[in-house]
Amino acid sequence: MGTSVAEQHQTSGKPGQLVEMNWDPITRIVGSLGIFTKIDFGKRKVAECHSTSSIFRGYSIFMKGKDPRDAHFITSRICGICGDNHATCATYAQNMAFGVKPPAMAEWIVNLGEAAEYMFDHNIFQDNLVGVDFCEQMVKETNPGVFEKAEKTESPHANLHGYKTIADIMRALNPFTGAFYREALQMSRMTREMFCLMEGRHVHPSTLYPGGVGTVPTVQLFTDYIVRLMKYVEFMKKVVPLHNDLFDFFYEALPGYEEVGKRRILLGCWGSFNNPDVCDYTYEKMTDWGRAMYVTPGVVVDGQLVTTDLVDINLNIRILLGSSYYDDWQSAETFVKKDPLGNPVDQRHPWNQSTLPKPQKRDFTGKYTWVMSPRWYDKRTGDYLALDTGGGPIARFWSTALAGIVDIGYIKATGHSVKIYLPKTVSLPEIELEWKIPKWSNAIERDRARTYFQAYAAAAALHFAEQALSELHAGRTRTWNDFKVPEEAIGCGFHEAVRGVLSHHVVIKNHKIANYHPYPPTPWNANPRDSFGTPGPYEDAVQNTPIFEENGPENFKGIDIMRAVRSFDPCLPCGVHMYLGNGKVLERHHSQMFGVHAPTDREIEIVRRKRTGE
> Which positions touch other proteins (CB under 8 A)?
66-67, 69-70, 73-74, 189, 192-193, 196-197, 199-202, 204-209, 211-216, 224, 477-480, 482
389 phi and psi angles, rounded to 5 deg: -110, -10
Contacting residues for 17 by C-beta, under 8 A, at least 6 apart: 5, 40, 41, 42, 553
Cα 53 to Cα 28, 32, 39, 319, 367, distances in angstroms:
11, 5, 21, 17, 11
Cβ atoms < 10 Å from Cβ of 99: 14
User: Rounded to whole angstroms, how far apart are CA atoms 446 and 122?
Assistant: 12
The minimum distance between CB 213 and other proteins, in angstroms, equals 7
The minimum distance between CB 30 and other proteins, in angstroms, equals 19
The minimum distance between CB 87 and other proteins, in angstroms, equals 11
Smaller CB distance to other proteins: residue 211 or 535?
211
Contact 496, 273 (CB under 8 A): no
Smaller CB distance to other proteins: residue 65 or 344?
65
Q: Is the dihedral of CA 534, 536, 541, 545 positive or negative?
A: negative
User: Rounded to whole angstroms, how far apart are CA atoms 181 and 183?
Assistant: 6
The minimum distance between CB 200 and other proteins, in angstroms, equals 4
The minimum distance between CB 197 and other proteins, in angstroms, equals 6
The minimum distance between CB 357 and other proteins, in angstroms, equals 22
Residue whose C-alpha is closest to residue 504's, from 108, 513, 204: 513
Smaller CB distance to other proteins: residue 202 or 446?
202
Cβ burial of 32 (10 Å; 0-12, 13-18, 19+) is: middle
The minimum distance between CB 265 and other proteins, in angstroms, equals 40
The minimum distance between CB 478 and other proteins, in angstroms, equals 5
Contact 560, 260 (CB under 8 A): yes
The SS3 assignment for 229 reads helix
Cβ atoms < 10 Å from Cβ of 502: 30
Smaller CB distance to other proteins: residue 220 or 343?
220
User: Rounded to whole angstroms, how far apart are CA atoms 413 and 297?
Assistant: 13
Smaller CB distance to other proteins: residue 196 or 428?
196
Cβ atoms < 10 Å from Cβ of 58: 10
Smaller CB distance to other proteins: residue 87 or 132?
87
> In the 8-state DSSP scheme, what is residue 82?
S
Smaller CB distance to other proteins: residue 197 or 431?
197
The minimum distance between CB 73 and other proteins, in angstroms, equals 5
Contacting residues for 374 by C-beta, under 8 A, at least 6 apart: 317, 318, 319, 320, 387, 519, 523, 524, 527
The minimum distance between CB 124 and other proteins, in angstroms, equals 14
CA 507 from chain centre, in angstroms, equals 26
Smaller CB distance to other proteins: residue 249 or 516?
516
The minimum distance between CB 267 and other proteins, in angstroms, equals 34
Smaller CB distance to other proteins: residue 66 or 608?
66
Smaller CB distance to other proteins: residue 192 or 243?
192
Smaller CB distance to other proteins: residue 72 or 563?
72
The minimum distance between CB 514 and other proteins, in angstroms, equals 16
Buried b (16+ CB within 10 A) or exposed e, 592-612: bbbeeeeeeeeeeeeeeeeee
Residue whose C-alpha is closest to residue 36's, from 56, 18, 50, 19: 50
Residue whose C-alpha is closest to residue 209's, from 314, 104, 110, 353: 110
Contacting residues for 134 by C-beta, under 8 A, at least 6 apart: 170, 173, 246, 250, 563
For the chain, the distance separating the N- and C-terminal CA atoms, rounded to the nearest angstrom, is: 32
β-bridge partners, 359 = none
Smaller CB distance to other proteins: residue 67 or 605?
67
